[in-house]
Amino acid sequence: MSTGNTRTVMQTADIARALTRISHEILESNKGADDLVLLGIPTRGVTLAGRIGALLGDISGTSVPVGALDVTMYRDDLHRNPTRTPRPTQIPAGGVDGKTIILVDDVLFSGRSIRAALDALGDIGRPAAVRLAILVDRGHRELPIRPDFVGKNLPSARSERVNVHLADVDGIEEVTIAS
C-alpha cells in the first residue's frame, strides 16, 4: 500500500513475524532465557521490548525482565536537535550486572542512539554482554555499530524517512518509507 510519496513496507503480520523470528534468534544465541534482560529505547523500542519479552516468555516458559533505557541526555546531537522530554529509565529489579542485555529499538540509522544507549548503560552497571535487536535496519551507519538481531533490512536513501507505527503508541501498526 502506498499514498503519495509514502509506501508501506511492513504491516501487522510482517511486524509480528519479524518479532517472533528475533525472539527465536535471541533464545538460540543465548542458549535459553537465563540471565537475559531486555531494555527498550523510548519510545517504540520500549513497546517492542515488551512484545519480544512476552514472546520469549511464551517460547521458553521463563519470564524475561523488560525495562526502558532513556538515552536523551547521552546523545551527541543535543545542540543540533530539539530535545524531547527525557523518559524514565526503568531497570528491572535484578539489575544489569553480569546479565546479557538486549537493547531494543525500532530503526537503526546512524548508530548514534545506540552509542548513547551504551554510554547510559555503562553508568548503570556492567553487563556480561550487550546485544542489539532492531525492527528495521536502514543502513547509513556513521559509527561502527551492527545489530545482532534484525527484523528487516531496508536499504534507503539518506533523504528518505522510515517511520515505525505501533498500535500501542500510534493506533496503527505499520512501517512506512517516505521520500
Q: Tell me: the pLDDT tens digits for 128-142?
A: 999 999 999 999 999
118 Cβ neighbours under 8 A, 6+ residues apart: 103, 130
Q: What's the confidence (pLDDT) of residue 36?
A: 98
Q: What's the confidence (pLDDT) of residue 1?
A: 58
Q: Return d(Cα 89, Cα 67) in angstroms, integer.
A: 8
Q: How far apart are the first and last CA of the chain?
A: 15
Q: What's the confidence (pLDDT) of residue 138?
A: 96
User: Quick one: pLDDT band at residue 87, thresholds 50, 70, 90?
Assistant: confident
User: Quick one: pLDDT band at residue 122, thresholds 50, 70, 90?
Assistant: very high
User: Is residue 84's pLDDT more than 90?
Assistant: no
Burial per residue of 62-79, b for 16 or more beta-carbon CB atoms within 10 angstroms, e otherwise = eebbbbbbbbbebbeeee
Q: What's the confidence (pLDDT) of residue 85?
A: 74
pLDDT in tens, 139-162: 999 999 999 999 999 999 999 999
User: Is residue 19's pLDDT more than 80?
Assistant: yes
**113 SS3 class:** helix
pLDDT in tens, 37-57: 999 999 999 999 999 999 999
Whether pTM > 0.85 for this model: the answer is yes
User: Quick one: pLDDT band at residue 78, thresholds 50, 70, 90?
Assistant: low
Task: Indicate the angle between helix axes 44-60 and 12-30, nearest 10 degrees.
Answer: 60
Residue ranges of E strands in 12-99: 36-40, 66-68
Q: What domains can you pick out in the chain, each with its CATH number?
A: 13-77+86-156 (3.40.50.2020)
Q: Return the residue matching grid coordinates 525482565.
A: 65
28 Cβ neighbours under 8 A, 6+ residues apart: none
Give the pLDDT mean for 88-107. Answer: 96
